[in-house]
Amino acid sequence: MTEHQPTICILGGGFGGLYTALRLGQLPWGDLNPLIYLVDQNNHFLFSPLLYELVTGELQSWEIAPPYTELLANTHVRFIQSAVKDIDLQQQTVELSSQTLSYDRLVLALGGETPLHQVPGSAEYALPFRTVQDAYRLDESLRALETASVPKIRVAVVGAGPSGVELACKLADRLGDRGRIRLIERNDQILKSAPEFNQTAAQKALEKRQIWIDLETRIESLDANQMTLCYKEQTDTLPVDIVLWTVGTAIADSVQSLPLPHNNRGQLLTDPTLQVQTAPHIFALGDLADCPAQEGQPIPKTAQVAIQQADCVGWNLWASLTQRPLLPFHYTHLGEMLTLGEDSAAMSGLGVQLDGPLAFMARRLIYLYRMPTLDHQLKLGLNWMVKPLLSAIATPQ
C-alpha cells in the first residue's frame, strides 16, 4: 500500500511565504517527500526594504525582485502564479484561477494591502508604494513632471512612519531644487515607535533636504491637483502634483471572510506555534497574523519578523508531519534600519548606532545577507562591487 504523500500549500510569496518554502527544503524529510506549492499572483519576489532605491535609480528591479523560478530552481517547491479565488476549509482545498489544490497543511502568508479608501478622493488620486508596479507608476508620474515646464514638483507623502520618511528622503534627492516635498503625519512626531537615535537622524535628514513636516495633521480630501489638510480643526487647501499613501495595512477579503478567529483588524489569531486558533493544520504569519505578544509587547509587522516567523513555521510544518513536538515562536529584535536618501542611512540595534554613509554600507551588507538564496546573494554582491568600478572607468577625467 502506497503511503500518503502530504501536500503543503503556501499562499503568498513575500518574506513569510517564500522563506517558509525555502526553509522546508532544508529539513530532513526522509521518505515522506511532501508536495510543496508556493502560490503568488506575481511572478517575482520583492525584497521590499530596498524598494525605495528604485525611486533614485540606485538599484534596478532585477536586484530586488528576482523571479520565483530562479529562486526555487534548486528546490522541490512548485511555484504557481495565480490569484487565490477561494479557500474551502471543510474540503481543505484552495481554488486558484486555473486549478484547485488540495492540502494537508496550509500556510497563509498573503501579506497586506494599502488601504486607499480612508478619505474622499484617496482611491482615485493617491498612489500606494508597496510593489514594483507602484514604483514604476511613481517613476512614470515623476518623469512626466520632470520633463514638463512646471517650475516646482509638489509631492505629499502621507504617513511619517519608516516608509513615509524613507520615501520622502529619496524623492527629495531625486528631485533636488525642483522638488517640494511635504510629509503629513497624524501623530505629534515622526517615526513614533522607532529608536530615538533613528528618529534624530531622520529629523536631521528631513531638515537638510528642506522637507516640510506637518505633524498632528490629517487629510480631509483629495482632488486631481489639490488636497485639503486639517490641523487643529483649521483646514487649508494646497496644490499638489503627487500624493503618496504609506499609511495602514488592510487584510485581503479572502482572509477576512474565512470562518476562523480574527481580531478587530481582520488579522487571524494564532497560537504561539503560529497555528491558527481552532485550526492546527493552518499556519499564519506576516501582516495577516496576530500572534501572541511577547513580554507584554506586540510583535511588529516587519520583514525581519516575517523571516523569523518563516523559520518557525517551516520547522513546525515539518514537526507536525513527522510526529515531533512543535516549537513556540520567539521573536528576537535585531534592530531597525532606515535609508535616508542616496548614500545615507541610520541603524540602531544590538548595541550599535550608526548613521550616514557608514550606515548605508552596513545596511546594504545586512540586506545582501538576508537575500533569499546564495545564488542571488553572489549575483548581487558581484554587481555591487563591479558597478562602482565601471562607473569610475566611464567617468571622464
Question: For residue 297, what pLDDT is reported?
Answer: 82
Residue 350 has pLDDT above 90, yes or no: no
Q: Are 346 and 198 in contact (CB under 8 A)?
A: yes
Architecture of domain 122-245: 3-Layer(bba) Sandwich (3.50)
Question: For residue 62, what pLDDT is reported?
Answer: 97
Encode pLDDT of 106-131 as tens digits. 999 999 888 888 899 999 999 999 99
pLDDT band of 371, cuts 50, 70, 90: very high
Do 7-41+82-113+250-321 and 122-245 have matching folds? Answer: yes
Half-sphere exposure of 184 toward its Cβ, with a 13 Å CA cutoff?
Answer: 21
Amino acid sitting at position 224 = A
Question: CATH classification of 7-41+82-113+250-321 is 3.50.50.60, yes or no?
Answer: yes
Q: Are 21 and 119 in contact (CB under 8 A)?
A: no
Residue 119's contacts (CB-CB under 8 Å, 6 or more residues apart) are: 218, 219, 220, 221, 222
Encode pLDDT of 243-281 as tens digits. 999 998 888 888 999 999 999 989 999 999 999 999 999
Q: Which residue is it, cell 513527522?
A: 322
Question: For residue 1, what pLDDT is reported?
Answer: 41
Q: How far apart are CA 341 and CA 326, in angstroms?
A: 43
What does the block give as the cell for 296?
Answer: 507584554
Residue 69's contacts (CB-CB under 8 Å, 6 or more residues apart) are: 43, 79
Residue 192's contacts (CB-CB under 8 Å, 6 or more residues apart) are: 161
Residue 4 has pLDDT above 90, yes or no: no
Sketch the domain layout of the chain as residue ranges.
7-41+82-113+250-321, 122-245, 338-394
Greatest alpha-carbon pair distance for the chain in Å reads: 77
pLDDT band of 392, cuts 50, 70, 90: low
The order of strands in the sheet holding 352-356 is 336-339, 345-349, 352-356
Residue 2 has pLDDT above 60, yes or no: no
Question: For residue 395, what pLDDT is reported?
Answer: 61
Mean pLDDT value across residues 140-167: 96
Residue 242's contacts (CB-CB under 8 Å, 6 or more residues apart) are: 127, 138, 141, 142, 145, 153, 154, 155, 156
Q: How far apart are CA 57 and CA 54, in angstroms?
A: 5
Q: Are 161 and 183 in contact (CB under 8 A)?
A: no
Residue 394 has pLDDT above 70, yes or no: no
pTM: 0.93
Q: Are 51 and 135 in contact (CB under 8 A)?
A: yes
- Share of residues in the chain with pLDDT > 90 (%): 84
